[in-house]
Every structure is written in structure tokens, then in C-alpha cells.
Amino acid sequence: MKPRLFGTDGIRGRVGRHPITPDFMLRLGWAAGRVFANDGDGLVLIGKDTRISGYMFESALEAGLSAAGADVRLLGPTPTPAVAYLTQTHRADAGIVISASHNPYYDNGVKFFTRDGGKLSGEAEVAIELALERPLQAVASDRIGKVQRMNDAAGRYIEFCKSTLPRRTMLEGLRLVVDCAHGAAYQIAPSVFEELGAEVVPIGVSPDGLNINDGYGAVNPGRMRQAVLDHRADAGIALDGDGDRLIMVDARGAVLDGDDLLFVIAEDRMRRGVLEGGVVGTLMTNLGLEESLGERGIVFERANVGDRQVLERLRSKGWQLGGETSGHIVCLDQNTTGDGIIAALQVLFAVVDRGKALAELRRGFRKYPQCIENVRIHSPANAIIESPAVQRAVRDAEAVLGSGGRVLLRVSGTEALVRVMVEGAVADQVNDLAGRIALAVEQVAGAAGTGATQPIEAERHGA
């Protein structure tokens, strides 16, 4: 069987629509408790980001887990990678994160970590879905799970993040803009960099339940970029709402995505002789990264899109470093999942250790111009992609690009989007071709009688 509710990163959707409802979360907590807590004997941690619905869903999950006999520790607003770390070190049976990551406040979701801090297997997801089909029945009163708050969760994670740098390594002399997207890391991230000696200019640190990811953070780096220029900072650090993505800006205002940062970390580790194996990217990773790493003798492999796919490939190869263009960067020698704060520390260590500015460390990476058009749709995405009109637009683009570029269409696993990616040698040509394919997608979706798509959103990378 394949899971029906679980997507590429847990269960996610619009608050108030199935399955992101209080009654479903109650049942989900009970089902997870049955699977993880061995019918009434276990411990589950719950963390969340700062969106307003998190309090409602925290209470529902807590009730369901207790009814299944599982003890619960509430972490409060906590980055996703912190929940993974604390689940492992606290020897819990599972960790739960209430978050929709980079999505707006009106979305929410749930993702799980196993006792070793890893993502759930497909088998575990199916087991939870099967348990959801059973009648909810609470354990006997003397076996109901106990609930407590873990008041030192933030402090434990701050110390862990600092410990990932070599002893006596400090960030003194660096001025950093730290953008927390009004999300889960709003208290933790500034503290980590300040305690390591950096001068920190915090932005996106005033959550109100509704402003998470709104104009700030890894998906909206413009304010961070301007703050870097205004404060003459050495670098900017932008996390997303749950703290597992990282986008940076150098002192000149150039935005560095996950591909840029992977290059900096990989080259630095190779220079120090500590790069274990190669680097894993995804189908969306810029072709320039593959070529730039190859010129340095670093093996590169592509996995399917999603940090879960990157993790699985890293583990199968016995490697440590991988990530996505979007900013999910995995350093398996430091944490069990993508971690924005730890990835930033790895980049800043290279800056401090080599005494070079971030722009200089990135200089050896020749990035191909790349355009990603995100088309919002309301009809079955696979049918749209496979339609004759869209496939004709793809073939036409591939004919223009020849062997010097590539086209990729994929369905988002977290939003109702078709992502159109075009990569090639000439930026204007790449942007034009991506726009043509996206227009074909939009027209097919509209012709399906599902209403007009929302405006196309474009991401452009490279020269």
C-alpha cells in the first residue's frame, strides 16, 4: 500500500479543510500514539511554528496521543530540525512538528520524526493511516498519557547548534542580518549567532500568528538583502517558517540559494579533507553545481525532489552532504535532517576559517541561468503536464536549447502548483521559454473548466 494522506513532507493543507481540521488531528494523534507508543507505553514530543492554528492543533494532537496512552512533552515554538534533534536525544518514540513550513499562515500541517530523528518510512505512514480507520477508543484511565512542557527545549538546541562548530571557533567581527520569517526560530537563531560572538541584526522576529513567511524569510529574501546593504553587514541569513531552509545574502547583496551554499560547504570540506564521499542534489539542482563540483573532483548525484529523497540517497551512499536549491541543506554528520541554522554555521565557518568574504568563497561556482515558473492550478496536475499542448511547448523549448540546457516539469508535493523549470546558457532565452511553457500550462488548466489559475510566480537564478 501507498500512503494516501501523507505527501512529500507529512500532511499539509488549508486550515479548516480536511484533513487539516481539529477533529482529524485528534484522530491523527490517537493513531500515531497507537503506532509509536506500543498500545500505551511511549513518549512523543510536539513542536510547532508560530502560526495561529498551531495552538488548536497542538491541543488536539495532545488529546489524541494521551487517549492512546502516550506521554507527551510540549516544546512550544521550535524549529523542525530542533524537534528531530530533541526526539533523538530525549529518547522519545517519535517527534511531531505542527507546521506548513514556507506556506502562508492559513495553511498548516503535521510531520513526524522517528526515535532516531529520521523521517517516517512509507510503511510507518501506511500504519498510521490504517490506524485512522479504526474506532477511537481511549485506554483505561490509569494508563492515560501524561502531558508536560519541556521548558529548556530552546536552550538545549542552542547549545547543540553551537557545538557543531570546532571548539574555540567564534564569529567575532562578523555583522549578520538574521531573518527568521516570524517563524519558529525567532528566538533561537539570533541567540545562536550572538552567543558565538557575531553582531546580529534580527528581522522577522515579531510573530503575531498571521505574519509567518509574509514578506520575510527564505522565500522572501528582499528585506534581508536590503537590511544587509543598509547595515553594511557581512552576510544575511534567512530561514523559513519552520527553520529547515536557508537562503543567504553576501555583503554586496547577491542572493545565494541552496546550490550556492552547497558549493561553499562542499569545497571547504574538500579543502580540509573532511568531505565524506560526494554531494547529493535533486533534479532541480543547477547544472552549474554539478559541473563546478566535478571540476574539483567531487562526485555529484541527483535524487528526486524533496529533502526526504536527498536523505535517502545520502544514507544509501554513506555520504554526509546534500540539499536542494530551495535551501534545504542536509549535513548528516551534524543533524538527521535539513537544518537552516547548522547549514549557516557551516558556511560561516568557511568564512572565518579561510578569512575570505562569502562572495569570494562562492566565486568558483558558475551557475547556469535558470527560471522556475510556479503555476497555481485547480485541476489534476499530471493530466495538465501530459496534455498535448504542454508537451508540444516542452518539445519546442528543448529543440531551442539543444544539448546546452534542459526542461523539467513537476508537480509540487506541498502546494497546488505545477513547477516549470528551464535551464540554459542565455538568461533571456531561458526566461522566455519558461514563460511559454507556463502559459501553456495555464491555458490547459483554464480549459479544463476549473476556473482561472492564479498569477504565475517566477523564480530566476543565475546570470
**Helix (H), strand (E) counts: the chain:** 15, 19
Residue 9: the pLDDT is 81
Per-residue pLDDT reduced to its tens digit, 96-110:
999 999 999 999 999
Q: Is the pLDDT of residue 460 over 80?
A: no
Query: What is the reported pTM?
Result: 0.90
Which positions are annotated as active-site residues?
Answer: 101
Q: Please report the pLDDT score of residue 114 as a whole number.
A: 94
Q: Using the 8-state DSSP alphabet, how is residue 444 labeled?
A: H
pLDDT digits (tens, 9 = 90+) for 285-340: 999 999 999 999 999 999 998 888 999 999 999 999 999 999 999 999 999 999 99
- Residue 315, classified by CB atoms within 10 Å of its CB into exposed (0-12), middle (13-18) or buried (19+), is middle
Residue 161 binned pLDDT confidence (cut-offs 50, 70, 90):
very high
Contacts 24+ apart (CB under 8 A), 351-356: 351/174, 351/234, 351/235, 352/169, 352/170, 352/171, 352/174, 353/169, 353/268, 353/272, 354/268
Give the chain's domains with CATH numbers: 11-151 (3.40.120.10), 157-362 (3.40.120.10), 370-461 (3.30.310.50)
**Rounded percentage of the chain residues whose pLDDT exceeds 90:** 87
* pLDDT band at 398; cut points 50, 70, 90: very high
Q: What is the pLDDT of residue 1?
A: 65
* Lowest mean per-residue pLDDT among 21-30, 40-49, 176-185: 40-49
- Residue 283: which pLDDT band, with cuts at 50, 70 and 90? very high
Query: Sorting pLDDT into bands at 50, 70 and 90, what band is 40?
Result: low
Would you state the pLDDT for residue 411? 86
The pLDDT tens digits for 350-380 are 999 999 999 999 999 999 999 999 998 877 7
pLDDT at 36 over 50: yes
Answer whether residue 38 shows pLDDT above 80.
no
Q: Cα–Cα distance between 456 and 138 in angstroms, integer?
A: 48
Instruction: Check pLDDT > 90 for residue 459.
Output: no
pLDDT(451) > 50: no
Mean pLDDT of 171-192: 98
Q: Are 86 and 36 in contact (CB under 8 A)?
A: no
pLDDT band (50, 70, 90) for residue 189: very high
DSSP 17-82: STTSSHHHHHHHHHHHHHHHTTTT--EEEEEE-S-THHHHHHHHHHHHHHHTT-EEEEEEE--HHH
Average pLDDT over residues 259-274: 97
In the predicted structure, residue 463 carries a pLDDT above the cut 80 = no
Can you give the pLDDT at residue 449? 47
**Residue-wise pLDDT tens digits, 199-215:** 999 999 999 999 999 99
Percentage of the chain modeled with pLDDT above 70: 95
pLDDT reported for residue 450: 43
pLDDT at 382: 83
Residue 238 has pLDDT above 80, yes or no: yes
Lowest mean pLDDT among 69-73, 95-99, 230-234, 410-414: 410-414
pLDDT value at position 448? 57
pLDDT-derived band at 452 (thresholds 50, 70, 90) equals very low
Element spanning 145, H or E? none
Residue 433 has pLDDT above 90, yes or no: yes
* Grid coordinates given for 351: 568564512
Mean pLDDT of 253-282: 97
The answer, yes or no, to whether the previous bond of 104 is cis (omega within 30 of 0) is no
Burial of 371 (0-12, 13-18, 19+ CB in 10 A): buried
